[in-house]
Chain A
Amino acid sequence: MAYSETSQLLPGTLFLLILKSLVRGPLHGYAIAKQIKNASANGLEIQEGSLYPALNRMLVKGWVRAEWGISENNRKARFYRLTAEGRKQLHSESREFEKLVKSIQLVMRTV
């Protein structure tokens, strides 16, 4: 059920987006959602119902680490930090993604 709401995203891209948004430093869940929304000029909206299960799945896989910290409005918040493993994953996933997009574009242009 966790994935049904991400159907507007290409499959597997949720992980990629989260990983990418963490490249510049640790963020909490709300900030991740917000950053993706802003960066895509409101084009992509991550549902909370998918975000947190995805974050947890990434914790399980060891791509991110969670730590408690203080948010910009001085509230206790849970920050997610990219691990070395996560960086590696990001690289391979973005390569894959670019390949995929290029292929799709090729198809769109030629056919």
Chain B
Amino acid sequence: MPTFREWVSRFRFFRDRRSFSGEMREELQFHIESLAAELEDRGVSKDEALRRAHLEFGSSQLVQEDSREVWQFRWLEHLAMDLRVGFRMLWRNPGFSVLATLCLTLGIGANAAVFSWLEGILFRPYPAVAHQERLMALAGTARGEPGASALSWPDYLDLQKNCPLFDAFFVSKITGTSLSIGERAERAPGSIVSANYFEAIGVHPMLGRGFLPGEDVGSAAHPVVVISYQLWQRRFKGDPHIIGKTQRLNGVFHTIVGVAPEGFYGTFVGWAMQFWVPASMEELFEAGGYKLEDRSARWIEAYARLKTGVTAQQAQQEIAAVAGRLESDFPLSNRGRGVQLWPLWATPFNGAGTLLPMLSIVLVVVLCVLLTACANVGNLLLVRSFSRRQEMAVRAAIGAGRGRLLKQLLTEGLILSFAGTLGGLAVAHWCRHALILLFPARGGVSTYLPGDLDWRVLSVTAGVCVVATLVLGLFPALQASKVDLAPALKSEMSGVVGGHKKSRVRSGLVVLQVSLSFVLLVGMGLLIQSLRKIRTTDPGFSTHRVLNTAVDLTSAGYDIPKAKAFQDELLDRVAGLPGVESAAFARATPLGYGSYSSSRIAVDGYNVPPEEEPTVQYNEVGPAYFATTGIPLVSGREFLRSDDEAGAPVAIVNETMAAQFWKGKDPIGERVQVKGRWMSIVGVAKDAKYESMREVPIPFFYVARRQNFTIDGGLNIRTPLSPQVMAKALAQEIQSLDSNLALYEVITLQEQVDRSTSSQKVAVTLLTALGTLALLLAAVGLYGVMSYAVSQSTRELGLRMALGARAADLLRLVLLRGMVLTASGLLGGVVAALLLTRLLGTYLYHVSPRDPLAFATALGVMLATALIACLLPAWRAMRTDPMQALRDE
């Protein structure tokens, strides 16, 4: 083991290597001359003495080399040499080099991109936030209920007070508001935060201030807001005097006290937050009124940062101890309640939870793609190593050890994988923000899913590069270690049919590629089928010819009477527009952004089983809602204008609810109690999809909007006109009614359905892209192997032809061999796919993971691709000129 001192002297040598060579030569010259002088003293003539001295001394060159070697980093020298030789080899075969690098670029690039997503979305999700490595999500647990629940504000305060192992606790609860600035309204996501928020995450507003201690205390006591840089630029045109101005949020004027710095997007995976309000304003943004002093109101989502050196386990113990004390101190509100820390990547209350399964699937897939790419390059290298057998034999003959040969081959692998890694990182850099492109825009609401190419991603990618190198170098190395001098000089011929022994590795690689591609193709097929099933599932309402939009009345400060009057007037005007068949307001839109109201209900004659509190969701809808949205009524009638404040309370239930509570009896005329008020049922509607296209039928009912009025609501319009045309007409009507009002985006209900299934579509898009890539790589691999086999067996082919084989026979011969390889790959692929497709889990909708159609399609695609890949070599085999082929030998 060289000591430090040795390294120093070696580096000094390296620095002075020029003068060292000179000194060395001089020193040896002195030695030779001294030898000669001694001989001369014994009476030998001068010339003869010098000759004999030289002879005795031997090769001065060799002594110099050996001496120099002592100083040098031998491996470094060898590496430099190997690199030089490697580059020369690659330069001499540009086709091979480009193909190999391209394969690796795609393989490594796909991996690096997914790594960057994992890093940017799951592991370091919050740009500009300090010490994310010690940050953990904090959520409640309830005994007997799996998963996480929210926390109450008093519990949160107690945790903060009693847990010394933590640096900081802070609350960040997602909320949203309508922002009307100018004549444009849009949903904007924001956070309700504790007053210490900006301090705790180490983010300092670029203008103004964060929140002051105490601004999270009291009921609606501090109407202040910090806005995002993005919002400031986009909607306030970067107004430098923004601080101190007011903006209406949910109907209340908030003073803008700060602008967050550029590049800070809040602390919620999936959304770019646009504003932050202190917890004291919670009742304005949250249902359920003032909750800061209510221990049983669980609504907050929080984070905690561990002190340096504290393990997650210690932290969890402390948290659990405090939670236990709270449970015994406040049994009424806290019985059975615990508190749990979660790593950021498993945060239960934000996009991390939903993206984790998809990203894991994608990770497995890209590793498959990388494996395919490596197999391809390995094959190419292997094929080349056959043509370099003589070179290797010569090297071995002149004394290169097996180790040196191996090193040379590994170096070539290293050059390739390094080039591939560089290319791959470029690909990853471009794809960094690609994930977000797959999610549709949502009318101003900003999704934010960043990739992050930091040193961790780079080092993992470097690791992939090293592994790829080893794998790549391995194939030819296996071959090289078998180099025997004698047989290498004879030319060996492999047969097309026989499958020469040495072609086994190559064939094995192709079989592996075919298997992997087949698995990906099956997965792709399953996902595409699921998506089609989801999208073609009848949502229960018309998706075409129905438009949906909304007018932001809350922000404009409308009260209930004013809102009622406005909506009536608008409805009349819209109904009068050319091309409009009908129009209706409803509080919530199916599959939309907002949530439905829900209430405990009581039903005449329905005996509630003990421990069950029937809670059912409902929507507040206006007259003609069913006609407009196309939800069919099974019996009874639709809401009418007369179902207003003065009329008797009425409700319409869906079929599932009718079946559940009235058990086959016609519910029309029966009564249901909602929020303490009895309503009589006037109609039964067909089931529809309410929150998700994938949901199973749920009980649901509708109440008359006029009898349960809330200011905000979506406007549904049945019309054949396009959203753009309708948007223009609507904007005019609204402007003429009140120029302060802002209109939301106008979209079709089909668009609404598409947006709600976007994550499914993302999975399909990703898997399709990667599956196609793998298929392409497999095709290249198959083509390569078959071309090589054909080129190496010209003599055999020529002989067969000379013996009377027809061109068609040769074609069949080559195709058969290709198909045998493909078939073996397919066999492995089917087995693997049967085992692996279950991983798709929740991404499959009404499709079995062993769906025969998906398997059959993948089989067909794979066979067709293989056939095409083999056709060209087969055609070449067909054109073998027997005379030429036999003469060559």
Contacts and interface: CB of A to CB of B under 8 A. Distances in A.
Given A60-B9, A75-B30, A76-B26, A48 B63 contact: yes
A81 interface: no
Contact of A30 (B34, B67, B70, B71): B34
A21 B499 CA distance: 68
Contact of A60 (B10, B28, B59): B10
B31 A29 contact: yes
Contacts of B13: 60
Interface of B: 3, 5-6, 9-10, 13, 23-24, 26-28, 30-31, 33-35, 37, 57-59, 62-64, 66-71
Contacts of B67: 52-53, 55-56
Given A30-B30, A48-B63, A62-B9, A78 B70 contact: no
Nearest to B59: A49
A102 interface: no
B57 A48 contact: yes
A22 to B, nearest CB: 16
Given A2-B66, A53-B66, A73 B30 contact: no
A61 interface: yes
B58 A48 contact: yes
A101 B37 CA distance: 37
Nearest to B28: A52
A55 B31 CA distance: 14
29 contacts: A1-B66, A2-B69, A28-B27, A29-B30, A29-B31, A30-B31, A30-B35, A47-B58, A48-B28, A48-B57, A49-B58, A49-B62, A49-B63, A49-B66, A52-B27, A53-B63, A53-B70, A55-B67, A56-B67, A60-B10, A60-B71, A61-B5, A61-B6, A71-B30, A75-B30, A75-B34, A76-B26, A78-B23, A78-B27
Contacts of A76: 26, 30
Contacts of A77: 27, 30
A52 B63 contact: yes
Interface of A: 1-2, 28-30, 47-49, 52-53, 55-57, 59-62, 68, 71, 73, 75-78
Given A28-B30, A49-B58, A53-B69, A62 B63 contact: no
6 smallest CB-CB distances across A and B, nearest first, come from A56-B70, A53-B66, A30-B34, A56-B67, A78-B27, A57-B70
A75 B26 CA distance: 11
A52 B66 contact: yes
Contacts of B26: 76, 78
Contacts of B3: 61
Nearest to A55: B67
Contacts of B30: 28-30, 71, 75-78
Given A60-B6, A60-B10, A73 B37 contact: yes
Given A53-B67, A53-B69, A57-B70, A48 B31 contact: yes
Nearest to A28: B30
Nearest to A77: B30
A15 to B, nearest CB: 12
A49 B70 CA distance: 13
A12 to B, nearest CB: 16
Contacts of B71: 56, 59-60
Contacts of A78: 23, 26-27, 30
B70 A60 contact: yes
B34 A62 contact: no
Contacts of A62: 5-6, 9
Nearest to A1: B66
A75 B5 CA distance: 32
Given A53-B67, A60-B70, 11 more contacts: A30-B30, A48-B63, A49-B66, A52-B27, A52-B66, A56-B71, A61-B3, A61-B5, A73-B37, A75-B30, A78-B30
A68 B19 CA distance: 13
Contacts of B64: 52
A48 B34 CA distance: 13
Contacts of A60: 6, 9-10, 13, 70-71
Nearest to A54: B70
B27 A29 contact: yes
Contacts of A29: 27, 30-31
Nearest to A85: B5
